[in-house]
Structure 1
Amino acid sequence: MADRTRRGLLRAAALAPLAAALPAAAMPDVPVAPAGVDADALARDEAYWARVAALYDVARDPVPLENGYWGVMAAPVQAAYLRHQQRVNREGPAFARRAFPALHGAALDSAADTLGVGRDELALTRNATEALQALIGGYRRLRPGDAVLCADVDYDSMRDAMRWLRQRRGVDVIEIALPAPATRQGILDAYAQAIARHPRLRMMLLTQVSHRHGLRLPVAELCAMARLRGIDVILDAAHGVGQLDVRIADEGADFVGVNFHKWLGAPVGVGGLYIRRGRADDIDPYMGQADPHGATAARVHTGTVNFAAVMALPDALAVHAGIGAARKQARLRHLSARWLAVARDTGAFEVLASEDPALCSAIASLRLRGRPGVDDNRALADRLLDDFGLHTVMRDGLASGACVRITPAVFTRPDEIDRLCEALRAIAATA
C-alpha cells in the first residue's frame, strides 16, 4: 500500500507540469466551415468533419458508439477544465468565496445566451435529473384527485418522480405507451386521447429526445395542445440541447431540465433548470429555501458544485457555437442515416427510428426481430462489442421491449459507421 501511495504521488507530481502546459498545447481553433455551404451539404464534407474530430482525443478501441451517456470534452475544453481545477485546488476556499461567484455568473450568462433564455430564468444544476426532480417534486398546482401524465419514452428517474407525486400530492399518475413505429400524427393522437380521457389532468412530462431510441417528440405542438386545456408541461431536454437546432423557449414548455455535459460537451456535472419568467411561484422553493424574489435558483439547491466544471462551461459553449447547432444536427443525422439504411435493408432487425426526419435524432436503436427481451438485447450489445469492437448499450423500458442504442458523435468517423454496417450485415446473416 505504501509503494502504491508513493507511486501515486510521484505520478501526480509528474503530471502537474504537463497539465499546466495543456492550455497552450491543446487549444486548436474550431474549424471554419466553408462559406456558402448549407448544413446538409456540409454534413457530407468529410474533410471538414475530420478537422472537427481532431478537436477530440478519444479512444477508438472499442469504437465509441455510446455517446448518449455523456459527451467527451473537446481538447480546448479539457485544457480549460484542468487549468481551472489547478486554480481551485491552489487557491482553495478563498477562491470559492471571493472569486467564484462572478465566474459562476459568467457561466450562467453564457448558458442563458446559448439556450436563448433570460439569465433570471435559468439556474445551473449538476445534471438534468436534478433539475427535473426539483421541478416535478416542487410543482405545486396539484390537488388530490388531479392527474399527471408520462410515457414509456421518458427517462426512468423522471417516471419515478412522476409516480412519487401519487403519495406526495395525492394525484393519479397516468402512463401511456407511444405508438411504434412512431409518426407525428400517431404521437399527437396518443397525447390528445390521454388528455380527453382524463379531464383532471393538470401536468404532463414530455421528453424532447428519448434516451431509449432517440424519438424526437413534436414538443411545440404538444405544448400548444396542453396549454389549450390548462395543462402545464415539464420538458426533459437532456438529450435535445446541443444536438438539435432549436431554442428552448420556442418549444413552449414553461419548465425545462437540460444537460450541458451531453451534447454540448461541458465537463460532467453541469446541467440547468429553466423556468419561464413569471412561473417560478408555481414551483416550491427547495425544501424551505429562502425565496424573497421568486428566483429560479431558489427552486434547486445543489450544495457545493464542481467549481472547475462550471468555469469550463463557457469554453464548451464556445466550441459548440464554433461548430454550430444546425451543422451538428445535420452531421449526426447523416451518420445515423447511414447505418439505419443498412439495418433496415437486412430485414433481420426491427429498427426503432422514425421514417420521418423531423422525429429523428442522433440516437437510434434496434433489436433482432422477435427478440425484445432484455437478455436478447444485452447479448446483441455484447456481440457487437466482443466480435466487432463496437461499444453500444442495451436500453429497456419501452412498452415494445428492450433494444440496443447506437449513438454517434461529431467525432465519429465514416469508417467506424462502415464497420458498424458490416457488423449488422454479419449478424443478420446468422440471425
Structure 2
Amino acid sequence: MTVSRRRVVAGLGALAVAGPPAVPRGVTAERLARDEEFWAAVARRFRVSPDFVNLENGYYGVMPEPVRQAYHRNVDLLNEQNSHLLRTTYKAAADRVRDRLAGLLGVTRDEIALTRGGTEALQSLISGYRRLRPGDQVMYADLDYHSGQYAMNWLKDRRGAEVARIVMPEPATRQAVLDTYERALREHPKAKLLLLSHMNNRTGLVTPVRRIVSMARGRGVDVIVDAAHSWGQLDFTLPDLDADFAVFSLHKWMGAPLGAGFLYVREQRLGDIDPLYADETYPATDLRSRVHSGTMNVAPFLTVEAALDFHEALGARVKQARLRFLRDRWVRPLRDLPNVEILTPDEPGAYGAITAFRLRGLTTEAANTALADRLMREHRIFTVARTGMSGGGAVRVTPALFTSAADVDRLVAALRDLRES
C-alpha cells in the first residue's frame, strides 16, 4: 500500500512530543546554523502542511508539537474546570509566566503585564501615555506597524497632538537610519513621543534601538519600542535596548498559541501611563491596571511556559543564527541580479529572518500581490505582498525554524524563473 507524504508528515508530527534535539556542545551557533541534519530533526517537531513551502511566517508562528499538544491539554483543562480555574490556580500560573518572561528579558515581574498580543499592548501604551499636551508632537516611521500608526494618529483627537511621519531611507543602512532619526528629532523640537520598531514587519529592518532611544531621551522624547517581531528571533534583553516602554508578541517567534503577548514599563515610569478605562481591578501602582481584556481565553497563557521551554532548549543565539543563515541563503544569490531589489540591508545586526524584495518597476500593491500569487500558483511557495515603503510595495519572505535550505533554494530558482519571464 502506498502511503502519502501528507500522512507520513502528519504521523511524524503526532510523534514529535519531545522538545528540540539537544544542541551539541562546543559547536558555534553559526556552524550549527548550516547543519541540515540537525535542523531536519528540529523541523520534525513541527506539524506543517506538505502542500506548499511556507515562507510567510511573519504573520504568526507555528507552534512546535510539544507546545501544540500542551495547548490542547490547557483548552480541555479550562473547559473542564471553568471559572474555578480562573478564580483559583490561574493567577499563580500567570505570575509564573511573568516570572519566566522577566527572567529572560532581564527585568522584574512587576514591570510586565500580559496582553492578548502585541497590538493590544501597543494600543494600551500609546493611548495611555499621559505626558502629552495640546500642540506636542508624536512621531512614527512609514515602516512601523499599521495598528501602531493608527493609534498614534488617534492621539491628534485624543490628546491634541500633532503627528509627524518619518520616511525611512531605501535601501537602508544603519547609519542612514540613525541620520534619519537624528534629523527628525532635530526638525521636530515639540516632539514628546516616538514609536520605534526594533524589527519592522514590512522589510525586516532591525534598527539600532539603544542609540535611537539615547538620542531621543537627550531631547526629552519618550520612546515606545515595538519588539513584537524581534523577540524570539533575535538574541537580546531589555537592558540591551535601554527602553522605558516596550511591547512584545508571544505568538510570533516564541511559538506560543495565538492570543498571547505582553507589555513592559520600566518601574519608575509607571505613573506616565494611565490606568485603562480607570480600571480598578488592580491598584494604580500595579502595571496590570494598564490593561483590561475582560474575561479571556487563558489557555494560550497557560501554554507560554511550554513555548519558552522549547525556545530555551535551542537558545536565542542558535535560533538567530539559523534564521539569518536561511535569509542569507536566498538573498545573496539574488543581490546582483538585474531587476531584483532587496530592501533589507546585509549589515550585521540589521536583519533577521524577514526580508522584502521587489522586481524593479513593480511597486504597486496589485503587482506584488500578483507576483506572490504566481509564486504560489506556479511554484507552491507561499509569500505575501507588503505596502507602505517609500519606494513602493514589495513581497515579504519569512522562513521559520522548520524551513530547510532546500526550501529557500527553491525560492531562488523560482525568482530567477519569474524574472526571466
Structure 2 length normalisation: TM-score? 0.95
> Which residue of 106, 116, 119 corresponds with 1:129?
119
1:293 CA drift (Å): 4.6
1:343 CA drift (Å): 2.2
1:15 — aligned with what? none
Does the CA-based 8 Å contact 2:330-2:412 persist in structure 1? yes
Does the CA-based 8 Å contact 2:62-2:255 persist in structure 1? yes
Does the CA-based 8 Å contact 1:362-1:408 persist in structure 2? yes
State how far apart, in whole Å, the 2-side matches of 1:179 and 1:82 are.
45
2:328 — aligned with what? 337
State how far apart, in whole Å, the 2-side matches of 1:205 and 1:364 are.
21
1:206 — aligned with what? 196
2:355 — aligned with what? 364
1:24-43 to 2 correspondences below 5 Å: 26-43=16-33
One-letter amino acid of the counterpart of residue 309, structure 2: A
2:186 — aligned with what? 196
2:295 — aligned with what? 304
State how far apart, in whole Å, the 1-side matches of 2:342 and 2:262 are.
32
- The reply to whether residue 382 of structure 1 matches residue 366 of structure 2 is no
Percent of counterpart pairs with the same letter? Answer: 47
> Which residue of 185, 189, 201 corresponds with 2:175?
185
Identify if the C-alpha distance between structure 1 residues 378 and 25 changes in structure 2 by more than 3 Å, giving closer, same or farther: closer
1:246 CA drift (Å): 0.6
2:208 — aligned with what? 218
State how far apart, in whole Å, the 2-side matches of 1:189 and 1:397 are.
20
Does the CA-based 8 Å contact 2:16-2:44 persist in structure 1? no
Higher helix share: 1
Does the CA-based 8 Å contact 2:114-2:262 persist in structure 1? yes
Give CA-to-partner distance per residue, 1:110-166, whole Å, 9 cap, x none.
Answer: 222222221000000000000010100110011111111100110111001111111
One-letter amino acid of the counterpart of residue 113, structure 1: G
Does the CA-based 8 Å contact 2:13-2:47 persist in structure 1? no
1:77 CA drift (Å): 0.5
Does the CA-based 8 Å contact 2:13-2:46 persist in structure 1? no
State how far apart, in whole Å, the 1-side matches of 2:383 and 2:150 are.
25
1:92 CA drift (Å): 1.4
1:348 CA drift (Å): 2.3
1:101 — aligned with what? 91
Gaps of 5+ in 2: 1-11
- The reply to whether residue 412 of structure 1 matches residue 409 of structure 2 is no
Give CA-to-partner distance per residue, 1:189-222, whole Å, 9 cap, x none.
Answer: 1111111111111110000101001000010110
2:417 — aligned with what? 426
Does the CA-based 8 Å contact 1:129-1:158 persist in structure 2? yes
1:155-170 to 2 correspondences below 5 Å: 155-170=145-160
One-letter amino acid of the counterpart of residue 153, structure 1: L
1:354 CA drift (Å): 0.5
Does the CA-based 8 Å contact 1:346-1:428 persist in structure 2? no
1:21-100 to 2 correspondences below 5 Å: 26-100=16-90
Give CA-to-partner distance per residue, 1:235-289, whole Å, 9 cap, x none.
Answer: 1111011000011232021111100000000000000010011111100000111
- The reply to whether residue 287 of structure 1 matches residue 277 of structure 2 is yes
Aligned residues: 409
- The reply to whether residue 138 of structure 1 matches residue 151 of structure 2 is no
- The reply to whether residue 115 of structure 1 matches residue 137 of structure 2 is no
SS of structure 2 residue aligned to 1:346: coil
Does the CA-based 8 Å contact 2:61-2:252 persist in structure 1? yes
One-letter amino acid of the counterpart of residue 323, structure 1: L
State how far apart, in whole Å, the 2-side matches of 1:331 and 1:23 are.
21
One-letter amino acid of the counterpart of residue 417, structure 2: A
SS of structure 2 residue aligned to 1:404: strand
CA RMSD of aligned residues (A): 1.5
Does the CA-based 8 Å contact 1:342-1:425 persist in structure 2? no
Does the CA-based 8 Å contact 1:350-1:368 persist in structure 2? yes
Gaps of 5+ in 1: 1-21
